[in-house]
Chains A and B, each alone.
Chain A
């Protein structure tokens, strides 16, 4: 019997396997439970059609952007609001993966590991976004049917006040989008968070920051722009001959020749260091939503390529949200709050994107751009600092129009980014949108 007694220990091994497996399951339950709950087959939170049937989404003023009526998900009663907030809120079908309905579904369902997703009346939670629907509408109207992205955020707190992406549609009446319908191309993408675009001249701000710190004689230099020059064996052109320039006028006139030469002189690896430092090559986590990473061909590239990359062309691609944070950092002494979309989120700061001294010089020069070039009267009563960009996209496409900047005002600590896809001139097209949106911001806040 003693032998069998010893051999019986093999059964304990089986019992241990069951116990260990149970422990593994409990661990997964604790760590992955919220993902499991937000599965569209989960009838506690999703209807047969796959829409979340619990929880409301509110904007920062408490306006109900989406709620559930009679077991069906519905959106704001005004069609313009619905379209302007579509990418922030999401749609019933979950096509917009970064929309709150999908990205924050675990919060909306009211899931927690103790009580599960069940609440007595199965109403779920209210999720309040940092978005102001009013500003979104203003931005949507200013875009006037063009494809593009507009975002405004508070660089001290990180709250995103305005986030619009077009083309958009009415989530109460979602269209069937065919693959060859160019007018609705990328309608499910939030261009602010998930897309990257050729930056064009707005990238010259980064080149300028590198030059400020590495070329001590920068302010003593003079250039003569004739409209076409060879940089590193590659021809760099400007839309027109800018004539005699110093660094201030070269920046406000956005002279390609000057900035291509500076970038080529600084070299690819220095340029890459500053681009990375400014956060343009990394992904931000906006309340858990990962933004798209920018891509640049700098380190190791030949001088001509680095030159073109230094003016935001070549293969450069930048994410509007990353650009927005870089603007906030320039305004805020080199570091800014990381952007977030949930009103309850705590403020976290980025690392040092720019040296404080550099940030201050950059801000002054961007202010000079507005005063000397874009027109201070377009931003009445605002200490607006900005840089425009007209990014050539190659082929027959019209250039992307960019306008990025911030208000240098402790009462209104807002940075903004406007990108109009194939919109044309940066200042004229995107600047107009920025002007309208920022006036609405200052009027309301």
Chain B
């Protein structure tokens, strides 16, 4: 407390001095703004292009979890936790044999490293060491599986190969060190904060610099703490922190007194991000609470429906608890994605989307009753993405789209005022005083900013209703310029592209589906927000992830980011992916190795053994010059922890 008081006193003194200086030298503020409006876009370009390049440059090299050794000598690496065995070419293990069903079985590795085989209703059956599998059966390493008579042995990856693979992956997908970005971000935050103070002529409450300082501290603490825990990939968080900084500035611009609240929202968002990410480490836990999450989504929306109050634009989506206002529909998004994701075995055993469709319609119904059609559209698009990822079934989704279209028509005929808002779409300038009021002002203010903006706090768009949420893109364009605004949108695009590319190395479809759904949700939400404000789409009044002013929306955005973080399989890049201490796991592996050696070497299967060499050979290890690598490898800044801890390869 004493520290905080001292700090506040210090900042207040600084502010007073600055106010005096600005009062004494009238040209100083102008000169500062003139300079800083060119510096900020340069900083933003450096920060975001570095982060974007690093994220898009990730090769998503698949990890090998085990091998399936076939009789014909082929040795098929299992590159996911969940693998489909079948005849069709899209199977992960293709067994091109007439008796094998198209989608024959699923071979799934649990979080703890145990393998299970699931028969997916194959014609000719599956067996483990000769014993037929009814529905599922555990498979130990070294056991022989039989898919309709095609035999294959599940073989562990040797510790040496695991180590080699780890090094190779780490070398290929080396995340950029966060320190340079952190320094640039700090500059960005300090300059933005100073600009806000200058724009107000020094007359700002001390909470403004304090909040910015707290955000900078939060960012450094986050990175230092995770770095101390030997984490290395921070690009996603940097993007989120950058967008959050914009959010703090925009909040300051529209309401100086709301800045601390917005900082605490960011803090809550980071906490939610960490909690959710750590929770997602354990796939079994994550799967187990899907029902709870589905109930949560419906519960949050129903509570709002019953207790919610009207917002200024007709949508009844706010909840007032004590002195706080919440938007539970934002949090319901996280629950919804949680409930919608599924592991592969489940997808192929229970192909229909029945319950998920029921959940979706319950959510859409609640949102329609709240007249929150923007959020309803976001849920629906997310549903389509999840539905397609899970079923790949265009026909069903087409029918559902048709049904929803018809439902929309009914809603529009019952509530014609919604149609009025749509009627102005495409020609807002014809009714700039009324229906096109917000969009025309957004475009006018945005154009006034040019490429570099008029300076944080110098805009007028913030005075328009809902500008800091629905028209936030306009405020960024006006105060920060088109460059930074476009970069902010490109960040969201990048997150989406990353999540899609990460499916290559995806461990479980649960993570893959959740990440794709979360990033699609962010992308669609950004589309509605940005394009609605500038009359490319009708104005629907949804938030820009991370940027819009609003506590719940900020928490939801960080929460959604956790789903993406859980797919970042680069070596030690994601805290949302469990690691084990290497020494312990090495000891374990040694024990396992010894145990395996004691086992009799399995007899070669089949009468002929033309490929016995590979079949019998424990592991063929590529010839890596491990020691030679180390010199180039040990970056003094990164200090890559390849010798201390590792991802869970047990």
Contacts and interface: CB of A to CB of B under 8 A. Distances in A.
Name, among A1, A5, A19, the residue most crowded by chain B CB atoms within 10 Å (CB to CB).
A1
Contact of A1 (B344, B388, B453): B344
Interface string A1-31: 1111111111110110111011011101100
Contact of A25 (B385, B445, B513, B536): B536
A190 to B, nearest CB: 24
A43 interface: yes
B92 interface: yes
Question: What does DSSP make chain B's interface, helix, strand, loop or mixed?
Answer: helix
Interface stretch (A74-82, A96-104, A107-115, A231-239): A107-115
Contacts of A361: none
Contacts of B381: 14
A18 B80 contact: no
A39 B493 contact: no
B552 interface: no
Contact of A41 (B84, B441, B537): B441
Interface string A64-77: 00000000000000
Interface string B484-512: 00100110110011011001101001001
Contact of B440 (A2, A12, A14, A41): A41
A120 interface: yes
B83 interface: yes
B34 interface: yes
Contacts of B503: 1, 4-5, 8
Contacts of A15: 493, 496-497, 500, 519, 523
Interface residues of B, number: 66
Given A115-B452, A116-B450, A42 B445 contact: yes
B444 A39 contact: yes
A120 B527 contact: no
A26 B445 contact: no
A3 to B, nearest CB: 5
Interface string A27-64: 01100111011010111110000000000000000000
Nearest to B495: A15
B513 A4 contact: yes
Given A5-B503, A11-B500, A21-B531, A116 B481 contact: yes
Contacts, number: 169
Nearest to B344: A1
B455 interface: yes
Given A5-B504, A37-B448, A26 B486 contact: yes
B19 interface: no
B432 A39 contact: yes
B497 A12 contact: yes
A18 B443 CA distance: 18
B90 A118 contact: no
Interface string B416-453: 00000000000000001000000011011111111111
B389 A8 contact: yes
B452 to A, nearest CB: 6
Interface residues of A, number: 45
Interface in A177-211: none
A118 B451 contact: no
A34 B446 CA distance: 11
A15 B454 CA distance: 29
Nearest to B531: A21
A117 interface: yes
Nearest to B524: A14
A1 B493 contact: no
Contact of B389 (A4, A18, A114): A4
A171 B350 CA distance: 78
A32 B535 CA distance: 13
Interface string B469-494: 00000000000011000100110110
Name, among A18, A19, A34, A37, the residue most crowded by chain B CB atoms within 10 Å (CB to CB).
A18
A33 B445 CA distance: 10
A32 B499 CA distance: 35
Given A18-B493, A29-B446, A33-B447, A118 B454 contact: yes
B541 to A, nearest CB: 17
B509 A1 contact: yes
A8 B92 CA distance: 16
A118 B448 contact: yes
A57 to B, nearest CB: 21
B516 interface: yes
B440 A11 contact: no
Contacts of A115: 450-452
B30 interface: yes
B512 A4 contact: yes
Contacts of A7: 388-389, 392
A43 B500 CA distance: 43
A240 interface: no
Nearest to B442: A36
Given A2-B91, A25-B531, A12 B500 contact: yes
B448 A44 contact: yes
Contact of B453 (A24, A28, A113, A116): A116
B31 interface: yes
Interface of B: 30-31, 33-34, 37, 79-80, 82-84, 90-92, 344, 381, 385, 388-389, 392, 432, 440-441, 443-455, 458, 460, 481-482, 486, 489-490, 492-493, 496-497, 499-500, 503-504, 506, 509, 512-513, 516, 519-520, 523-524, 526-527, 530-531, 534, 536-537
Interface of A: 1-12, 14-15, 17-19, 21-22, 24-26, 28-29, 32-34, 36-37, 39, 41-45, 111-118, 120-121
23 contacts: A1-B503, A1-B512, A4-B509, A8-B512, A9-B500, A10-B385, A11-B519, A11-B523, A12-B497, A15-B493, A15-B496, A15-B500, A17-B527, A21-B536, A26-B482, A33-B450, A114-B450, A116-B449, A116-B450, A116-B453, A116-B454, A117-B450, A120-B30
